[in-house]
Structure 1
Amino acid sequence: MAKPVILALDDDLEVLQALELDLRKEYGDRFRVVRSNSAKTALEVLQKLKLRNESAALFLVDQRMPQMSGVEFLERAIEIFPLTKRVLLTAYADTNAAIHAINKAKIDYYLLKPWNPPQERLYPILNDLLEVWQASFRPPFEGVRVVGSRWSPKLHQAKDFLARNHVPYQWLNIESDEGDRLLSYAVSSDTKCQALVIFPDGSHLIEPTNTQIAEKIGLKTRPNMPFYDLAIVGAGPAGLAAAVYGASEGLRTVLIEREAPGGQAGTSSRIENYLGFPGGVHGGDLAKRAVTQAQKFGTEIISPQEVVDVRLNGQYRLVTLADGSQLSTHTLIIATGVSYRKFNIPGSEKLTGAGVYYGAAMTEALTCKGEDVFIVGAGNSAGQAAVYLSKYAGSVNLVVRGDSLKKSMSQYLIDQIEEIGNINVKLLTQVKEFIGEDKLEAISIFNSITGEVETIPTNALFSFIGAKPRTDWLQNIVERDENGFILTGASAMPNGRSPKGWTIERDPFFLETNVPGIFAIGDVRCNSVKRVASAVGEGAIAVQLVHQYLASV
C-alpha cells in the first residue's frame, strides 16, 4: 500500500523547501511528503491521488497565496479528501483571518511563521493531528474501481467481465458523491460516459471493451507461438479439462476463450452434484482452480479472444483470431459450449444489461437487496440462481413455462426451492413484455391456461430460457445438426458411411468430427450429456483420442 500523503503548499519557494525538509526528516518513513507552490497544481495533484485511490493524511497550507488563498484551497480540498487534517500557515498579521476561517474551512489548527524550532513549534502539533487521523483511518481499496449507474449496460459488461476473470473490483454508483466526483476528475464535462474503469495506477478507460480491460489487467490476448500440438477453443469445464490433460501429457497446448474461463458453469452460484464436493462448489471457484491447474502444466491461455475461422492445410489446422492474428496446430478441440437464448419480445433489446440479464449475473445480486426479482427458466441453472438470489432479494419469482419443475430440474434443487420461504414458483407462465425506458420497471406475464395477463413492478429479471451453440464460424468446416450442434463419431457418418471428404482408413473417433484431427466436446457436441462431470470427462477422453490421431499421421 502506498504511504499516505502529507501535502505542503506555499508560493514562497524558500519557505516551501524548508517546510518540506522538516516534514521529510520527521515523517518521511511513514508518509509521502508532496510539495507544491501553486494551489491550482495542488488541487490537480489531489485529484490524481483520488484516481489512484491513495490517502491524504495532512494538508499544511500557506494562507497568503496569489489567485487562491489557503482557506479557499482548503474549502475545495475538503470535497476531495473530507477526512484529511488541515493546518493553515499564517503570518502574525493574518491570525484574525485564520481564526474566522476555522469554521468556514474546518481548519484543525493554524501555525504562525516561522515555526523554528520544529521540535517545539511544529512536530508536537502535527503529531497530535496525525495520531487522531491514524486512529480513524481505514486503508482504501487497492484494486480496480468501476464507476457508473446501476442501469448502464456498459457498466454491467465491465463488472461481469472482471468478476468472471476473478479480478477484485469496487463499484461506485455515479449517483453517489464519490462516484460523481471521480467521474468529474477523469472525464470532461461535455463527454457522456456510461462506465468508467479506474486502475490502481490511476489510469482509466471510458466505456472500455473487454479486450481493453484485459490488456490493462495483464491477460494475454495474443498467442506466443505460431504452432501448437493442440489448440482448444472454449474454456468451459470441457475445454479446461482438455487443457489440463493435454499440457500435463506433454502437448504444446493453447486454450482460446472469447469471454472468461468457466463457461456457463463458471457463473453458477453453487454446483452441488459435482463429484468430490459434498458441500457444493462455486462455479467461479471451480473455474479458477482449473485455470491454475492448466497453467501449472504449461497451457497458454488466451482471453478474451475469439476464433473466427479455421482452414485446413494438409495435416495442419490454421486458426484465425478476431484481431487478425493466426496460429497453426496439429489438432483442434472445439469446446465452445452454448449461449443463453435471448428474448424476442417488446423491450428486451433496449433493457438488456439495464435490468434484464442473461445467466446468473451474480455481480447484480447485491444491488437487488430487498427487491422483488424474477427468474425465467426451469433448469438447474435457474434453480441455482433462485437459491442464491433468495439470500439478497426480498422475493424471488421463478417463471416456468411448463407445469412442473421435475421435468428439467434436479430433485435436490426442487427440495431447496420448496424450503425457502421467499421463492415463489409461477407455473404455466411466460413473460410477454418488458416495460421501462432507461431501466426495467415492470414485466407483463400471462398464464398459458387461463390467458390472464398481469403487469408486475420489478427492476431485475434473470433469464435461463434455453441455450444454443455458437458454431456459425464452423459451417464450412464441420458437420452440424439442424440446431447447430456439432456431429461427432457415429453421428458424423451419414447412413453408416465415412463422412464426405474423409481421407483416412478408419471411422471417426467417438469425439471426432467429419474432419480428421478436429474434435468437439461438451455442450456444443450433438447429444452430449449436459453436466459438468460429463464435460470434464469428455475433455480427458478427447486428449487420449488426440494422442491416437497424432500417432497415426
Structure 2
Amino acid sequence: MTDMPPTAPRPVILAVDDDPAVLSAVRGDLRGRYGRRYRVLTASGGTEAIDTLGKLKLRDDPVAIVVSDQRMPEVAGTEVLAAALELFPDVRTVLLTAYADTEVAIGSINDLHLDYYILKPWEPPEERLFPVIDDLLEDWHAHNQPTYAVTRVVGSRWSARTHEIRDFLQRNQIPMQWFDIDVSQEGRKLSEAAGDDGLPLVITPDGVSLRSPDVAALAAALGLKTRADAESFDLAIVGAGPAGLAAAVYGASEGLRTVCLEQLVPGGQAGQSSRIENYLGFPNGISGSDLARRAVTQARRFHVDVLAPTTAVGLDLAGPYPRLELADGSAINCGSVILACGVAYRTLDVPGSAEFEGRGVFYGASLSERDTVTGEDIVVVGGANSAGQAAVYFSDYARSVTVLCRAGELGAKMSSYLVDQIAERSNIAVRCGTSVDSVGGTERLETVTIRDAATGGTEELTTSGIFVFVGASPRTDWLPPQIARDKRGFILTGPALGDRRHRTADGDRDPFLYETSAPGVFAVGDVRTSSIKRVASAVGEGSVAVQLVHQVLRS
C-alpha cells in the first residue's frame, strides 16, 4: 500500500451495514488494518451512507473504497454503490452479500462494474477480506496520485509529438495532468513561465521543464530504469507484453536471474485495451494497462530487472551463449533468451495517412485519447477484438463512432460479447464490407473517404479521428538470419521448423515446443508464427517456455 505524506488528506474507506454487530466487526477489522493511513468511516444504513458520501463530496475528500452490505431496508447496497460511483467515479466498490444474493452481486458486476463481492462471514479477514482491500487500494492509488506527484503536459491535442508523449505517460501509468494549449488558459501560463518557445512542454514532478522531449529523454527525466544492474543473466526476455511478463514472473520465481527488456511501454498491444472482459479471474474485466501494471509489480517483487524503454538491436549467437546488443551500445549476456517482442499495428497505405499520423490518424487506442474524442465524430477501422474494445470505450465520450470492417459481418473475428455491446450502443454505427480509401484535412484530420467492397462506390465522412486496427507486423527485423521466420516475418518454433535438429553436447535433438532454429532461443506470444492472439494463450506460452529454458540450462 502507498504511504500518504503528512500534509495529504487521508483517503476514506466507508463501511455500510444496518446490522450493528456486523458493522462493528467490519469497522474493527478495517480500522485495525488500515486506520493509520486511511479514515475508516461507517454508516448504519443506505440513507446515512448516501448522506455521508454527499458531505465528503462537498468537502472534496478523497474516497477510496465503499464496502456495503446488500440487504438493507429502504436503500439496498447496490443503490449505495451506484450513488458512490456517481459522486466519485474512481471509487472502488465491494458488496457484502449472503450466498442467496450471489446473483445480485454478479448482476452488479455487469450493471455497476462492481469491483468485488465478499460472502459473509469473511472470517478469517487475513484470508478473505484484507487481500481484496489491499488490492483495491493499490489499484485506487495507481489512478489517484496527489497533485505534487503529477507530470504536467502542455500542448495541442492535434500535435503528433504531444500524442506520443501523452501515450507514453498514460501507458506507463505515470500520473499526468494535461493542458490543451488551444483552450487552457493555465496551459498558456505554464508555457509562458517556462520561457523557451516550442511545444509540447513537459514539467516533471520535481519542476524540470522539457521542450518536445523524445521518449528516451522523457524516461531519463522521470527516473525510469533503462539499464540493467548486471551484464549477465540466466534468462533474458525481449518484450514486456503478457507473454514476456509471464515468462519473467515464472523465470524469476523459479530461481533464474532474469532481465526483461521493453522498447517502449510494458503491456504490449494488450496494454492498449480499454477493457479485457474474458480474461480468467477478473469478472469485472480489467484494462490492459492495469493488467500490465500488476504484472510488472509482480515481476519486480521477484527481483526481475524490468527495463523500459530499452531497445534490443541485435542478437549475437556466435559465442557459447546468446548476447543481446542494446541501442545504447551496451550488451547483455544470457544463458537463454525468450523472444516476446510482439507485433506493431500495420499502417494505412492510403493518401493522407502518413501526413496526419498523430494528428487524427492513430494506430491502436490509448486511453489518454478520450479527451481527443470527447464530443467528436470518430472512426474505428478493424474487425477484431482490439477494434471492438476501442469502439465500446470511445462511445462513452465521442458523439458518434463508426466502425469500418472489411468482413461481411462483425462477428467474423470479434468475440460475441463485444459484438453484443456494440449493438447495444446507439451512437456506434457498423459499416461492414468497407475500407478506407483516403483521408484529408488541413492542420489536422477532417475527413475520411471510404469504399464499399461490393459496389466500388465511395463516400466521404466527416471525422476528427481514425483509430486503426488492421493487422500487425512482427517486430523481428533486428534478429539475425539464424532465427528462421516465415514469409511474413513471424518466428518459426518447435514443430513448425520441420525436420531441423539441434546439435548439443549430448547429441542431436528435436527443438523444444517454443524453441527457435537457434538452440536456447525461444519465441512466445504474437511474434511466433501461428500463435493464438489472446492474452491467456500468451501468458500460457510465456510460462511454459520457462520450463523449457530449465531443460536447456541443465544440458
Equivalent residue, structure 1, for 2:493: 488
Give me the whole-angstrom Cα distance separating, in 1, the residues matched to 2:322 and 2:385.
36
Paired position in structure 1 for 2:512: 509
Counterpart contact for 1:502–1:516, Cα < 8 Å: no
User: For residues 164 and 457 of structure 2, what CA distance do their matches in structure 1 show?
Assistant: 35
Which residue of 374, 393, 397 maps to 1:369? 374
In structure 2, the residue matched to 1:525 is 528
CA contact 1:361–1:462 (8 Å) conserved in 2:
no
3-state SS of the aligned residue for 1:431?
A: strand
* Structure 1 residue ranges without an equivalent (≥5): 5-138
Q: Are 1:177 and 2:182 an aligned pair? A: no
CA RMSD in angstroms, aligned pairs only: 1.9
Counterpart CA distance in 1 for 2:356 and 2:480 is 31
Separation in 1, partners of 2:258, 2:507: 25
1:110-509 map, 5 Å = 142-175=149-182, 176-188=184-196, 191=197, 193-493=198-498, 496-498=499-501, 504-509=507-512
Cα distance in 2 for residues equivalent to 1:386 and 1:173: 24
Taking the aligned partners of 2:450 and 2:386, their CA distance within structure 1 comes to 21
Deviation for aligned residue 1:294: 0.3
Output the CA distance in 2 between the equivalents of 1:239 and 1:295.
13
Letter in 1 for 2:165: A
Paired with 1:140 and 1:400, the residues of 2 have a C-alpha distance of: 42
TM superposition score normalised by structure 2? 0.72
Q: Deviations over 1:292-337 (max 9, x none)?
A: 0000001001110110001024331111111111111010000011
Contact preservation (8 Å) 1:502, 1:514: no
Deviation readout 1:29-66 (Å, 9 max, x if unpaired): xxxxxxxxxxxxxxxxxxxxxxxxxxxxxxxxxxxxxx
Q: Aligned partners of 1:238, 1:336: CA distance in 2, in Å?
A: 9
SS at match of 1:365: helix
Q: TM-score, normalised by structure 1?
A: 0.72
- The Cα offsets for residues 446-466 of structure 1, whole Å up to 9 and x where unpaired, read as 111122211111111100011
Shift of 1:2: 11
Cα distance in structure 2, aligned partners of 1:269 and 1:539: 23
CA distance in 2, matches of 1:142, 1:518: 41
How many angstroms does 1:500 deviate by? 9.5
Distance 1:313 1:147 in 2: 48
CA drift of 1:368 comes to 1.3
Question: Structure 2 unaligned runs (5+)?
Answer: 9-145
Corresponding residue number in structure 2 for 1:549? 552
Distance 2:148 2:163 in 1: 20
The DSSP-based 3-state class of the residue aligned with 1:350 is coil
The change in CA–CA distance for 1:142 and 1:290 in structure 2 (over 3 A counts) is closer
Distance in 2 between residues matched to 1:201 and 1:216, nearest whole Å: 10
String of CA shifts for 1:220-276, please: whole Å, max 9, x gaps: 111110100000000000000000000111101000000100001111001111111
Query: Aligned pair count?
Result: 413
Give how far 1:470 is off.
1.2
Task: Please tell me the residue identity of whatever aligns with 1:327.
Answer: I
SS in 2 for 1:254: strand
Q: Which amino acid aligns with 1:386?
A: A
For residues 418-450 of structure 1, the C-alpha deviation after alignment (integer angstroms, 9 at most, x for no partner) is 111111000111111110132101111111112
The Cα offsets for residues 482-532 of structure 1, whole Å up to 9 and x where unpaired, read as 000000011123xx2426999952110000001110000001001111110
Q: d(CA) in 2 for partners of 1:510 and 1:444?
A: 46
Structure 2 residue identity aligned to 1:177: Q
Quick one: which amino acid aligns to residue 170 of structure 1?
Q
Q: Deviations over 1:80-114 (max 9, x none)?
A: xxxxxxxxxxxxxxxxxxxxxxxxxxxxxxxxxxx
Counterpart in the other structure of 2:68: none
Cα 1:440–1:454 change in 2 (3 A) is same
Structure 1 position 157, deviation (Å): 0.5
| 2:539 equivalent to 1:536 | yes
Q: 1:499 to 1:247 in 2, by over 3 A?
A: closer
Q: Distance in 1 between matches of 2:320 and 2:350?
A: 47
> Secondary structure in 2 aligned to 1:432?
strand
The answer to whether the 8 Å contact 1:236/1:264 transfers is yes
Using the alignment, how far apart are the partners of 2:505 and 2:342 within structure 1?
Answer: 25
CA distance in 1, matches of 2:506, 2:361: 48
Report % sequence identity. Answer: 52
Within 1, Cα distance between the matches of 2:314 and 2:266?
21
Tell me, in whole angstroms, the C-alpha distance in 1 between the residues paired with 2:195 and 2:410. 49
Alpha-carbon offset, residue 278 of structure 1 = 1.8
Which of structures 1 and 2 has the bigger CA Rg?
1
Q: 1:488 touches 1:514 (CA, 8 Å); kept in 2?
A: yes
Which secondary structure state, in structure 2, belongs to the residue aligned with residue 293 of structure 1?
helix
SS of match in other structure, 2:445:
coil
Letter paired with 2:189: R
